[in-house]
Structure 1
Amino acid sequence: MTTLTSLGLIVLALLRTPLFAIIAAAALLGFYRSGIDLTAVVIEFYRLAEMPILLAIPLFTFAGYLLSESRAAVRLVHLTQALLGWMPGGLAIVALLACAFFTAFTGASGVTIVALGALLVPAMAQAGYGENFNLGLVTTSGSLGLLFAPSVPLILYAVIAQQLGVGEPVTVDDMFLAGVLPGLLMLALLSVWVVWVNRGQPLRAFSRTEAGAALWEARWEIPLPFIVLGGIYTGYFAVSEAAAVTALYVLIVEVGIYREVSLRKLPGVMRDAMVLVGAILIILGLSLASTNYLIDAGVPAKLFAMIQSHISDRLTFLILLNIFLLVLGTMLDIFSALVIMVPLLLPIATGYNIHPVHLGIIFLANMQIGYFTPPVGMNLFIASYRFKKPVMQLYRATLPFFIILLLAVLMITYWPGLSLSLPSLG
């Protein structure tokens, strides 16, 4: 692709042309210049449509949107507060766990901040936690669940890696298992810190009556993680089947039992969920077509040769990879970043003997904290709008959480066993 063409695509990006149009233009121009029939782009969409695992994305997304429209978040917070509120920093740990659970199912950190922020920030302020602490906690923990199943980014990474066929094979089950220990590490480090910072907070006594009432109130949502994960890892469900069961279960619970999402409102929820899914699939199909052109043109091999001429060891490559992904996370949403960058990074990473599953967890962990990395992390602006606070205040509020999660990302990056131990047992 000529320099003039590249500059043209950059200008389109600066003019805020939709991402799928820029990727499509790049793919079509590349194939045209190479003398390849342009139906190659359509073939990629057909190949994508043949993947059974792809069904999991719209189904899990629909289930997540249904949960976000119901009072599931309120019940989840009440339950965790009743069970953990007696601990030092208990309400802060409740916020961490609730946000992680909610983001895992909705797949969108901004939704978590909007849905749970109005509940958690006033509750924590009433309990005596400082304003900056509350804002920092909710803003950063809004993206914590991206490493936990059934997070859509985990599924999307597996789909892209399968299509590339580079290095060791990657399955969705592998990615679900690989995210467990790194995700728990992030939660554990943050939990230790929030307990230490709030060790002087007055404690509330544990109440069996309150815990029992909260358990009863959330009795229909409590089985949800066990249905999803238990069904997949016992081999009873394939991932796509687990997604279908999850969507049906959530539909019955939120629409039929709790009746918090009316039948009149249901088409709107479906529309919003499928708009997101449609955007992901369009970008994914066009990106895979563009990737095929890049592979045919030998671009990943040329990039690897260029990088290897300057970076000989794996450690240095991983350091630069983390820096690059942090910056990327501030500029692109996670779905766009996955479909654009993974096809380029995966062949290079395998050249440095980095396992594709490990790379996926490194990628998502960095993108997770890129959401609130100054100066333009998306969560900072969502939280600023939601809580009516200056962005500079949120920069300061999120800094301690950023440092802790950055430490966790470094541990995830340089300790491959953290990501690979559970998949190797599966």
Structure 2
Amino acid sequence: MFILLVAIVIFLALLGMPLFAAILAIAMLGFHYADIDLMVIAIDLYRIIQTPLLEAIPLFTFAGYLLSASQSSKRLVRVTQAVLGWMPGGLAIVALIACALFTAFTGASGVTIVALGALLYPALQQAGYQQRFSLGLVTTSGSLGLLFPPSLPLILFGVIALQMETPVGMTIEQLLVAGIVPGLLMIAMLSAWSMWTQGKQAASTQAFSFQELIESFKDAKWEIPLPAILLGGIYSGYFALSEAAVVTVIYLLIVEVFLYKDIKLKQIPDLLTDAMIMVGGILIILSCSLVLTSYFIEIDAPTTLFDWITQHIESQLSFLIMLNLFLLILGAFLDIFSAIVIMVPLILPIAMSFGVHPVHLGIVFLANMQIGYMTPPVGMNLFIASYRFSRPITEIYRSTVGFMVVLLLSLVIITYWPDLSLLFVE
């Protein structure tokens, strides 16, 4: 009966039942059939307020909404175009870097496709890049920034991992810096592939202009220092991550509202409301997922899963291969926040038993998730791009194939060369 009811809940979720309701329903059914008092659910839901660094999530989310509502995307594209636009394939590299940076600060790849897609897709077309290539580039670039600080998924992975009883041996600050080199590797490989496949189009680039370089830096002079302030403050120990989130919000309010005047004061309440609606969605999924995680622990699911894996998998290499395949499929069907909250408590102890460093696991996990965003048939970014550019979903599928292959190759390197992720981890 329990399995039948769970199957019904999953079926309803596929038909559109809210994800948090499906997660909570499965947990409630599990506790009921395990003859455990359902009061434990209220206790687990209450645990959300005890989550370390929880305040950083709404603050960084609000900061992302401020950037999305301003003209920072245009200034960012102008700067990268002035710096790199003269290179062969420069506009493609500009698109990759601009989208990655924008996603890192907004925390949502779909927002990047919508916000920067309108700017970059026509520009790529006008520069003579093939239509299919342009579609694939913008769709793929939307999720690249998930490995760069202050990525919300990186923070959430650390928050969940640090709540576990397993001796994790990492900090969120280590996670934030660990994604920089793997993220740059992905951008570099995609840039090289773009230059190789678009040789004729890449040859027609703009001439380098020192004056335009100076003007673009002047135009973005208040936004360019933000990453240095954020990372410098965190890694110098001057302020903690939650304090960095406060500094980021205050800085952006001053810059975007009073200096650039892109955002009017009367817009702030609406932006704050929209941001907190998104945060509310994240937190309710997080809290319900914590309840489901408690059920898994109650029935000893991690130990059962560990026993099964150790019977069938003998080496770290085999485990990582299986993990990549599983996470790629998971990333295509489940949003990244739910995937982190549900799967990290199950995967982390097993990965550590195979000698996988928790920081390395976090980067591998998120690298898979960002590729999952564009994995057919149901990767979220594929549908966002189809809607945004009014193209059939099958055309979007075809346009991303080459980019997917390059990203999968980069994933192999990131997975089996852990020093890339652990370069700055003491």
Whether the 8 Å CA contact 1:167–1:356 is kept in 2: the answer is: no
In the TM superposition, residue 12 of structure 1 has moved relative to its aligned partner by 3.1
Select which of 357, 360, 384 maps to 2:359.
357
Structure 1: unaligned runs, 5 residues or longer: none
Does the CA-based 8 Å contact 1:84-1:94 persist in structure 2? yes
Matched ranges for 1:12-23 at <5 A:
12-23=12-23
Q: Deviations over 1:283-306 (max 9, x none)?
A: 112211221221122111001111
Residues 188/37 of structure 1: CA separation in 2 closer, same or farther (3 Å cut): same
- Name the stretch that deviates more: 351-360 or 321-330: 351-360
1:166–1:350 CA contact under 8 A, matched in 2 = no
1:288 aligns with 2:290: yes
| Matched ranges for 1:315-326 at <5 A | 315-326=317-328
Contact 1:113 1:383 in 2 (8 A): yes
Matched to 1:242, the amino acid is A
Q: Does structure 1 retain, via aligned residues, the 8 Å contact 2:52–2:159?
A: no
Does 2:197 align with 1:223? no
Secondary structure, counterpart of 2:23 in structure 1: helix
Helix, strand or coil for the counterpart of 1:393? helix
2:368 alignment partner AA: N
**Contact 1:88 1:198 (8 Å CA) reproduced:** no
Q: Aligned partners of 1:423 and 1:378: how far apart in 2?
A: 32
Q: 2:88 maps to which residue?
A: 88
Quick one: distance in 2 between partners of 1:74 and 1:53?
A: 32
Aligned-partner Cα distance in 2 for 1:199–1:220: 36
Query: Mean alpha-carbon deviation: is it higher for 24-33 or for 260-269?
Result: 24-33
2:104 touches 2:148 (CA, 8 Å); kept in 1?
A: yes
1:97 aligns with 2:83: no
Displacement of 1:52 in angstroms is: 4.3
2:334 maps to 332
Counting only pairs closer than 5 Å after superposition, residues 9-408 of structure 1 correspond to structure 2 as: 9-200=9-200, 201-408=203-410
SS of the residue aligned with 1:54? coil
- 1:199 & 1:44 partners in 2: Cα distance? 56
The SS at the match of 2:55 is helix
Say if 1:45 and 1:285, in contact at 8 Å, map to a contact too: yes
| Shift, 1:14, TM fit | 3.0
Number of residue pairs matched by the alignment = 424
CA contact (8 A) 1:64 1:107 kept: yes
Letter in 2 for 1:422: F
| Offset from partner CA, 1:186-235 (integer Å, 9 cap, x none) | 01111222222334422322111111111111111111101111110111
Identity across the alignment (%)? 60
2:128 and 2:3 mapped to 1: Cα distance?
58
TM-aligned CA deviation for residue 35 of structure 1: 4.5
Structure 2 letter corresponding to 1:211: L
Shift of 1:167: 4.2
Partner-residue secondary structure (3-state), 2:424: helix
User: TM-score normalised to the size of structure 2?
Assistant: 0.95
Residue identity opposite 1:73 in structure 2: S
Over residues 276-326 of structure 1, what are the superposed CA-to-partner deviations in whole Å (9 max), with x where a residue is unaligned?
111111111221122122112211100111122222222222112111111
Question: Following TM superposition, by how much is the alpha carbon of 1:8 offset from its aligned partner in structure 2, in angstroms?
Answer: 3.4
1:256 to partner: Cα distance: 1.8
213-222 vs 390-399, which moves further: 390-399
In the alignment, the residues of structure 1 paired with residue 71 and residue 141 of structure 2 have an alpha-carbon distance, to the nearest angstrom, of 19
Corresponding position of 2:7: 7
Alignment-mate amino acid for residue 132 of structure 1? R
CA contact (8 A) 1:107 1:152 kept: yes
Residue pair 1:52, 1:240 contacting (<8 A) in 2 also: no
Q: Structure 2 unaligned segments of length 5 or more: list them.
A: none
Name the counterpart of 1:423.
425
Amino acid at match of 1:314: Q
- Which whole-Å CA distance do the structure 1 matches of 2:309 and 2:12 have between them? 28
Deviation at 1:243, TM superposition (A): 0.4
Letter of the structure 1 residue corresponding to residue 121 of structure 2: V
Following the alignment from structure 1 to structure 2, what is the Cα–Cα distance between the partners of residues 16 and 355? 37
